[in-house]
Structure 1
Amino acid sequence: MSCEQCGQGYVLAGEPEGTMVDGAYLHEGSNKSRAVVLLTDIFGLPLVNCKIMADRFSKELDCDVWVPDLFDGRPPMNADDMEPLMPDRAGQKIPFMNILRLIWLIVPRVHLLYASRASVVDARISTFVAKIKESRTYQKIGAVGYCFGGAAAIRIGSMDLVDSIVIAHPGSTSIAEIKAIKIPAAWECAEDDMSFKKSIRDQAEAVFDARKDKPDFVDYEFKDYPGTAHGFAARPNFALPEIVKGYNGAFAHCVEWFEKTLKV
């Protein structure tokens, strides 16, 4: 599922350097023993941010980074319609007119949201990962998801698809889905997030804490970024210093996490 704050944000500067391969974006690295799959927010491949970030991840991790099309060419939100309607920093109130404008954007897209429900998107991810496992020589694969893709990363954490996940300000999820995660998981958490509220974030960490010294323990890390709101790690407002710090911090933590958990 999506969330109110998923339809806001800013466009990253730069031009993609990778290529499209069978409908997915790919930036190649020289190390072919591992790969990362980037699960996009609700704007999908048309928003350049995911490609710019994939390029940077590929360079810093020196591996292939893929961005599959989660929406089969029909993302629920258009990059051209992206507006910062919701708070992009912690502690801001939502103007009433912004709420009305957001509703105006979402209502005509309800059918696209339904077409992108969890069961459909998860099947696409499963098919994609199975395909690159078969066609490439990767020994380990990680996945990083943002917003909509963050919720998907939580779900695939229980599916034996990938070896490690990073979850950044996820969309709608449940404690049951979080409890089902059975691979190493890193979390990039906003201070103010209507979708992944602090109460849920704290329950999620408690789930992993409770596994310590038990057979089902998996490595995990939770990182909090003061002053940030939902979307900071994927669609940051570079005019705000705390958001810049959060964006760069979350990116660096993701790189560190995959260096740690995708060793071959």
Structure 2
Amino acid sequence: MPEIAECCRKGFKWNATPTGREGTLAQNQAYITGTNKNAAVLVIHDIYGWTFSNIRLLADRFAEECNATVYVPDFFGGQVLPEDDIDETLKNPARKLIDIPGFFAANSKQIRQPEIFSCARALRAQHAKVGAVGYCFGGWACFRLGAKELHLVDCISVAHPSLLEKSEIDNLSVPTQIIAPEHDYLLTPELKEYCNTTIPRLGVAYQYDFYPGLEHGFAVRGDPEDVRTKVGLERAKNAVVMWFNEHLA
């Protein structure tokens, strides 16, 4: 899977400090930020996991700007990438410090779906409204959480989802937002077209947010020093905030 390896190794680590706390959700360790008992957001992380500072910083923004309690559970079974390896991989992706094929074998949909669903059920029991947002690896899981007859979440947002299947698109039953960069080996032009022709016929609210010139991973690993990417980062964050404020109020 050379394209997946290339996409997942690229990116930048943001220079800020998360302000939330660590706890548990269901049986999983989790980063938790915010205190709203009515609305919750489940963040499903990318390959860099629940300890990656970028995903925690996004969670902090959602907690504040959506007035929600935001949870980033560990969905990689306690496997945490060392910060030094993350830094080196993002700076020098050609070194291939992360075994991407091995990662996907150890964290397949079949392995991770049960605990993702368990966390969503726990939030549903604790909060009146629940949304889910997924980045890269987390994208397919959000589509499955939004499936017909499950009633696990009230809306989903996905940014450059990976491993997405047409059957997961067909089965959607909740308001859906897609953050779609122009250049994406994983959310292919075919899948983009399929989303845009299929989802509007499902009877759910739908927003397709297109980002010209940007590429897979930008919304969680984009370079804030690059002007165009910085604008895209802010726009993508704001889009998710607006989506949750509309559907979790």
Q: TM-score, normalised by structure 2?
A: 0.89
Partner deviation per Cα, 1:56-112 (whole Å, 9 max, x = no partner): 1101011101101111211579524432567xxxxxxxxxxx4xx44x642xx5443
What secondary structure does 1:222 align onto? strand
What residue in structure 2 maps to residue 133 of structure 1? 124
Q: Which amino acid aligns with 2:17?
A: E
1:66 is aligned, of 68, 71, 90, to 71
- Alignment pair present for 1:196 and 2:202: no
The answer to which of 172-181 and 222-231 deviates more is 172-181
What residue in structure 2 maps to residue 160 of structure 1? 151
Q: CA deviation at 1:12?
A: 1.4
- 172 and 84 in structure 1: CA distance in 2 versus 1, 3 angstrom threshold: farther
Q: CA deviation at 1:150?
A: 1.4
Q: CA deviation at 1:113?
A: 2.2
Q: Which amino acid aligns with 1:254?
A: V
For residues 74 and 113 of structure 1, the distance between their equivalents in structure 2, rounded to whole angstroms, comes to: 13
State the structure with bigger RCO (CA 8 A, min sep 6), 1 or 2: 1
What residue in structure 1 maps to residue 230 of structure 2? 244
What residue in structure 2 maps to residue 90 of structure 1? none
1:9 is aligned, of 8, 11, 20, to 11
Count of aligned pairs: 239
For residues 262 and 149 of structure 1, the distance between their equivalents in structure 2, rounded to whole angstroms, comes to: 20
Q: Which amino acid aligns with 2:165?
A: S
For residues 144 and 71 of structure 1, the distance between their equivalents in structure 2, rounded to whole angstroms, comes to: 17
What residue in structure 2 maps to residue 258 of structure 1? 244
For residues 109 and 71 of structure 2, the distance between their equivalents in structure 1, rounded to whole angstroms, comes to: 20
- Structure 2: gaps spanning 5 or more residues: none
Question: % of aligned pairs identical?
Answer: 30
Q: TM-score, normalised by structure 1?
A: 0.84
For residues 3 and 163 of structure 1, the distance between their equivalents in structure 2, rounded to whole angstroms, comes to: 30
Is the 8 Å Cα contact of residues 188 and 224 (structure 1) preserved in structure 2? Answer: yes
Q: CA deviation at 1:130?
A: 1.8
What secondary structure does 1:3 align onto? helix
For residues 155 and 132 of structure 1, the distance between their equivalents in structure 2, rounded to whole angstroms, comes to: 16
1:147 is aligned, of 129, 136, 145, to 136
Q: CA deviation at 1:151?
A: 2.0
For residues 45 and 79 of structure 1, the distance between their equivalents in structure 2, rounded to whole angstroms, comes to: 13
For residues 36 and 21 of structure 1, the distance between their equivalents in structure 2, rounded to whole angstroms, comes to: 15
- Alignment pair present for 1:28 and 2:31: no
Is the 8 Å Cα contact of residues 129 and 153 (structure 2) preserved in structure 1? Answer: yes
Is the 8 Å Cα contact of residues 21 and 33 (structure 2) preserved in structure 1? Answer: yes
- Structure 1: gaps spanning 5 or more residues: 87-97
Q: Which amino acid aligns with 2:16?
A: G
For residues 162 and 146 of structure 1, the distance between their equivalents in structure 2, rounded to whole angstroms, comes to: 17
Q: CA deviation at 1:7?
A: 2.4
Partner deviation per Cα, 1:18-41 (whole Å, 9 max, x = no partner): 111121010013x32111111100
2:43 is aligned, of 32, 38, 46, to 38
For residues 190 and 85 of structure 1, the distance between their equivalents in structure 2, rounded to whole angstroms, comes to: 22
Which aligned segments of 4 or more residues in structure 1 are displaced greater than 3 angstroms?
Answer: 75-78, 109-112
